[in-house]
Structure 1
Amino acid sequence: MKPLVIALIWVFVSSASQATAPSAVAPPAASATTSAAPAASIAPGNVVTFEAHKAKLELAPPAGWVEEDEGRSYADKSGQKGGFTIEVLPMELPDKTLHILNESALDQGRDKVKKGGLASCEMKVVNGIEGVLIVEIPKDPATRRMEWKAHFKQYYICLTFSAPAAAFARYQPVFESVLGSVKLLEPK
């Protein structure tokens, strides 16, 4: 294998094993009180297109959530403080190598689950995009994260969802709905 490919594999594997690293946009601190009200739901037709590095990614943020950081982040302004960030980077590797990166991240994540470092780690295919979905254990009361990392069609895609640990269970179905809405659009 060429040194660049080995270095990129190492970077991906390292990032997958560091799932607890802060996301590019830190979520707000948790509030002292949390409501039992359900988190926002996806509104029909609430689809946005995120563009980066010639890639177009379509997804549906929840109704009432606010776009931040030029469309890279969305936040719930209802007081519950959930949110998510999007990262799309070019990754000039053959599909076979990208699949190996996903498998390696999955193996490392499953090992962390066995050791108690993650709540779950699974291969998650979303609209034809194969990625690894991890959910952190609730070790920090301020933030708990769910992260999906994928390599697809020459791109690295990462969605990081976060919420205060006490509100995470209410947000998780909303996060899963957003993730299920992700589509990589073909460049024109």
Structure 2
Amino acid sequence: MDLVAILVLAYGLYYRRHHRRDLLFAYIALNVGIFAVVSLLLVQRVDIAVGFGLFGVLSIIRLRSSEITQQEIAYYFIAIVLGLVNGIAGASWPLTALLLNAVLLAVIYVGDHPQVLGRTRHQVVTLDVVHTDPDLLRADLESRLRAKVLQWEVTQVDYVRDVTVVDVRFTSAPSVRVGAR
């Protein structure tokens, strides 16, 4: 059950939407490793807090060693939870584990679906001008991005090089298919 759940999460949802092969493998390896260790901890009657502490340390080290998005952290978290759920409840309460797998996968499917808030984007933009007027800054950003700016924050201004770095949240226009009338 755990292998099916992690394959649906890693390949069926994550990889098909984000196309990062390195994280596909990381999610599967993390999940299977957690499942194996939790299963062993339950059989050996070792204090489960030791196992959770180990997973926490390993997860923090892995998450800090590579730059990943908040969406990818969510997939990591679900991969960990699937391993824990299936390792702990899979043998004793298979229907409960199956229901929890379905709920977790449904939440990530809907939450990361391209049609749910899919037009909202985030980008750090470096402008070759310094704007002192917020309205002119917004107009410049909307012109360059060809989108409606929802929010922005100036993170850096360099008057010597005449450069502004802006963290922008914007709504992109729906894509137009070429050849469509």
Normalised by the size of structure 2, how large is the TM-score? 0.25
Normalised by the size of structure 1, how large is the TM-score? 0.24
Structure number with the bigger relative contact order (C-alpha 8 A, sep ≥ 6) is 1
* Structure with the largest fraction of helix: 2
* Structure with the largest fraction of strand: 1
